[in-house]
């Protein structure tokens, strides 16, 4: 049976019996989620990859202690969060403490997935939009950023996110609400700046039109009427 058709519990048992292929299957199954989690905390691709690798090594060494009390994905996410936070402390980056209340987390807002179809211009626009959103996500405080990625990008539930980060569910809801609010404000400000340059006219377009008109008005017989 292909490994991608084997459930987590069976793969864990195979790993515990000494199967490297089964652990590879687990890594490939959770790579995206765990990388994004580390990336959300560290804001650096290389550092996130390093933290992910260290987390996998730790998970492999302690997999015998996994009893299935939580979902495997939650257990692995907690390990990579701890590893990323250790790396963050080592790099002496500022850690942010975020208060919470009972605010609702609001509606889902952002979808930056590529469309399979579309013109090159549309695909380029989506790519630019993704880079802008990624930049603004990176600018969020650490606590907001991690919750936003787990809830909105990885689509983990409030309960799964709370378990992975070892925080109350109310904190998850509040941080997500505040992260969305900050993102909306940041993106709205960016759009206000961008609209000032929309349908740009200066430069080559201006020169081209001037040249074209001058060519026409100096042509023989092209005189103003009076």
- State pTM to two decimals: 0.58
pLDDT digits over 41-70, tens only?
Answer: 888 888 889 999 999 999 998 888 887 777
Q: Which residue has the higher pLDDT, 191 or 42?
A: 42
C-alpha dist (Å) from residue 31 to 12, 52, 67, 75: 16, 8, 21, 14
- The pLDDT, as a whole number, for residue 162 is 92
Residue ranges and CATH numbers for the domains of the chain are 3-90 (1.10.1740.10), 99-221 (1.10.10.10)
- The pLDDT, as a whole number, for residue 85 is 86
Q: Mean pLDDT across the chain, nearest whole number?
A: 77
- Picking from 12-21, 81-90, 105-114, 185-194, which range would have the lowest pLDDT averaged per residue? 105-114
- The pLDDT, as a whole number, for residue 158 is 93
Helix H or strand E segment including 20:
helix 20-42
Interval 175-189 mean pLDDT: 88
- The pLDDT, as a whole number, for residue 195 is 52
pLDDT digits over 94-112, tens only?
Answer: 333 333 333 444 443 444 4
- The pLDDT, as a whole number, for residue 44 is 86
pLDDT tops 80 at residue 215: no
Residue whose C-alpha is closest to residue 150's, from 41, 2, 4: 41
Burial class (CB in 10 A: 0-12, 13-18, 19+), 15: buried
> What is the C-alpha to C-alpha distance for residues 187 and 193, in angstroms, rounded to an integer?
10
* pLDDT band with cut points at 50, 70 and 90 for residue 170: very high
- Picking from 72-86, 140-154, 168-182, 199-213, which range would have the lowest pLDDT averaged per residue? 199-213
Interval 202-223 mean pLDDT: 65
Q: Which residue has the higher pLDDT, 92 or 121?
A: 121
Interval 157-184 mean pLDDT: 91
* pLDDT band with cut points at 50, 70 and 90 for residue 119: low
Q: Which residue has the higher pLDDT, 58 or 93?
A: 58
Q: Rounded to a whole number, what is the largest CA-CA distance in the chain?
A: 97
> What is the C-alpha to C-alpha distance for residues 55 and 48, in angstroms, rounded to an integer?
10
> What is the C-alpha to C-alpha distance for residues 72 and 225, in angstroms, rounded to an integer?
82
**Where does the chain show beta strands of DSSP type E?**
none
């Amino acid at each position: 049976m292909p490994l991608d058709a084997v459930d987590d519990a069976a793969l864990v048992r195979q790993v515990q019996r000494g199967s490297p292929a089964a652990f590879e299957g687990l890594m490939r199954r959770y790579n995206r989620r765990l990388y994004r989690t580390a990336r959300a905390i560290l804001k650096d691709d290389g550092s996130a990859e390093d933290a992910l690798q260290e987390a996998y090594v730790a998970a492999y060494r302690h997999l015998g202690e996994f009893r299935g009390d939580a979902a495997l994905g939650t257990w692995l996410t907690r390990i990579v969060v701890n590893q990323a936070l250790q790396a963050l402390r080592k790099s002496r980056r500022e850690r942010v403490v975020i208060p919470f209340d009972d605010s609702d987390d609001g509606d889902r807002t952002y979808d930056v997935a590529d469309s399979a179809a579309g013109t090159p211009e549309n695909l380029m626009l989506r790519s630019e939009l993704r880079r802008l959103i990624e930049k603004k996500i990176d600018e969020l405080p650490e606590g907001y950023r991690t919750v936003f990625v787990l809830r909105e990008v990885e689509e983990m539930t409030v309960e799964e996110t709370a378990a992975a980060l070892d925080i109350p569910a109310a904190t998850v809801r509040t941080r997500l609400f505040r992260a969305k609010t900050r993102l909306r404000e940041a993106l709205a400000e960016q759009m206000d700046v961008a609209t000032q340059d929309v349908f740009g006219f200066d430069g080559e377009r201006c020169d081209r039109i001037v040249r074209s008109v001058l060519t026409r008005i100096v042509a023989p017989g092209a005189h103003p009427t009076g």
